[in-house]
Amino acid sequence: MKRYERLAEDVATLIRRGVLAPGERLPSVRQVSRSRGVSPSTVFQAYYRLEARGLILARPRSGYFVRDQARRLLETPGISPVRGAEAAEVAVSELVFSVLDSLQDADTVPFGSAFPCPGLFPLPRLARSMAKGLREMGSEAVVAGMTGGDPALRHQIARRYVLGGVRLPVDELVITNGAMEALNLCLQAVTRPGDLVAIESPAFYASLQVLERLQLRAVEIPVDPRHGVDLDVLADRLGRWPIKACWFMSHLQNPLGASLDESRKRALYDLLVEHEVPLLEDDAYAELHFGPQPPWPVKALDEAGLVMHCGSFSKCLAPGYRVGWVAAGRQARAVARSQLMTTISPSVPAQAAIADYLQHGGYDRHLRRLRHALESQQQAMLAAADRHFPAGSRVTRPEGGYFLWFEFPERVDSLQLLRLALAEGISLAPGPIFSATQGYRHCARLSYGHPWTARSERAMVRLGELLATF
Ligand SMILES: Cc1ncc(COP(=O)(O)O)c(C=O)c1O
């Protein structure tokens, strides 16, 4: 990272954490230049960059100020206790499918979407990598890369783990059809029908559908929007129930955006070791952090091979290519074998394209741009919610990803809100699809994954008006 980039990241972190408050004047260029020992032009470059990201603005002859957009009017929701039985049969698929079907219309304002705007991805550059990968692929490669995955791609992924501080034998890596296949294979490797699996509450809806399909029972562990999964509750449940696996997200949890800090990751790992319970660590949003450094996963601590760390290119580089992976610890062989018996392998050309792109395409540059776009879109959505949503609404402020989780006053029914909003061409993801017991009725997940426009602003105004009718 260049000096001005590092300085910009440091200031952005201070703004995100509220140390530099909205409306506050930033230290002058001269002050920063002196205190950091960098040239005034480096400070200017850093401030220009923050201006372009929508975090600060220049006032003629007065200096630079934190933009008002980052105001904190709506409060952050607290942790919600899990309602209902401690171990639940899961039956959400019908609801999830009916909601997902209703979100298909490409003309709606896509607040319910699970993907960022395709225009934020380097699709033309990836297409060149695909063509090159295909041209250079020897005929034997079409089948050679089938077990475990394309060797060049596995090498590139292992390299990124090492750069992120995780030492990992390449043998542990299995390339999969997206993170979804990785998570399915891992769960099947460590459970049998009827087993108990600890999951988050609220949870990514597809994880609930997987449990339902495999006839597993969910032990829902509450997630704190600021600190991640509640480890006291987890310790209690692990002590009392024969839980066979945990399926958690340590970063940018979907839908809350919560991340575990380093001490909580260590405490979680200690619990897994104490109870000999494997962890499916779903890290699909790992690359979408707004802070300067990627946080390390629980996998980084994994001497015992208990952690199956699942990643994906779907959210950060190549949606639709269906390429993900798992670093599967002790289960690597079982996972690779079960893949051979089910889907055989992910598409070989898609793997070759991503391997070439990672090597030559400027992945880190693309990621920096994507993160900055998402961060300024988050600011815009937060500001619009502050302006237009009714008093008593609460919202998360995740340090990455592209989802906000809203907790509305109890009287709001988000399934009804969805129906009303769809009739006006606005989508959203209602709370009950994120719960094994269809809780969170007064909550919703909204995506800021698309560039912010006047249409987005109007949709927030209209949502605010609809909310006020409950
Ligand atoms: C939390 C989480 N895990 C996994 C996935 C699936 O990722 P992929 O598209 O790589 O299968 C998603 C996608 O929505 C997700 O949100």
Alpha carbon of 180 to ligand 1 centroid (Å)? 6
Residues in the chain with pLDDT < 50?
70
Alpha carbon of 284 to ligand 1 centroid (Å)? 6
Nearest Cα residue to 138 out of 368, 352, 376, 458: 352
Residue range 100-155, pLDDT digits in tens: 887 778 889 999 999 999 999 999 999 999 999 888 877 777 676 667 899 999 99
Ligand 1 nearest-atom number relative to CA 249: 1
Q: Top-level CATH class of 3-70?
A: mainly alpha
Per-residue pLDDT at 70: 46
Query: Which of 254, 259, 321, 347 has most ligand 1 atoms within 8 Å of its beta carbon, as the pocket-test mutant?
Result: 254
Alpha carbon of 303 to ligand 1 centroid (Å)? 26
Expressed in percent and rounded to 5, the helix, strand and coil fractions of the chain are 45, 15, 40
Ligand 1 nearest-atom number relative to CA 323: 10
Protein residue whose Cα sits closest to atom 12 of ligand 1: 284
Per-residue pLDDT at 293: 82
Alpha carbon of 273 to ligand 1 centroid (Å)? 26
Tell the CATH topology of 93-119+365-468.
Aspartate Aminotransferase, domain 1 (3.90.1150)
The greatest distance separating any two alpha carbons of the chain, rounded to the nearest whole angstrom, comes to 68
Per-residue pLDDT at 146: 67
245 pairs with which residues across the strands?
Answer: 197
- Exposed/middle/buried for 357, CB within 10 Å: 0-12, 13-18, 19+? buried
Residue range 262-307, pLDDT digits in tens: 999 999 999 999 999 999 999 999 999 998 788 999 999 999 999 9
Alpha carbon of 287 to ligand 1 centroid (Å)? 13
Give the CA angle between residues 156, 161, 259 to the nearest 5°. 130
Task: Please give, one letter per residue, the 3-state secondary structure of the chain.
Answer: CCHHHHHHHHHHHHHHCCCCCCCCECCCHHHHHHHHCCCHHHHHHHHHHHHHCCCEEEECCCEEEECHHHCCCCECCCCCCCCCCCCECCCCHHHHHHHHHHCCCCCCECCCCCCCCHHHCCHHHHHHHHHHHHHHCCCCHHHHCCCCCCHHHHHHHHHHHHHCCCCCCHHHEEEEEHHHHHHHHHHHHHCCCCCEEEEEECCCHHHHHHHHHCCCEEEEEEEECCCEECHHHHHHHHHHCCEEEEEECCCCCCCCCCCCCHHHHHHHHHHHHHHCCCEEEECCCHHHECCCCCCCCHHHHCCCCCEEEEEECCCCCCCCCCEEEEECHHHHHHHHHHHHHHCCCCCHHHHHHHHHHHHHCCHHHHHHHHHHHHHHHHHHHHHHHHHHCCCCCEECCCCECCEEEEECCCCCCHHHHHHHHHHCCECCEEHHHHCCCCCCCCEEEEECCCCCCHHHHHHHHHHHHHHHCC
Alpha carbon of 313 to ligand 1 centroid (Å)? 9
Residue 198: what are its φ and ψ, rounded to 5°?
-80, 125
Protein residue whose Cα sits closest to atom 14 of ligand 1: 114
Domain map (residue ranges) of the chain? 3-70, 93-119+365-468, 122-361
Q: Cα separations (Å) of 288 from 60, 96, 178, 295, 376?
A: 34, 25, 17, 10, 13
Ligand 1 nearest-atom number relative to CA 114: 14
Nearest Cα residue to 349 out of 172, 190, 133, 154: 133
CATH number, domain 122-361? 3.40.640.10
Which residues contact ligand 1 via a Cβ below 6 A? 114, 178-180, 204, 249, 254, 282, 284, 312, 314, 324
Query: Which of 287, 315, 347 has most ligand 1 atoms within 8 Å of its beta carbon, as the pocket-test mutant?
Result: 315
Per-residue pLDDT at 387: 87
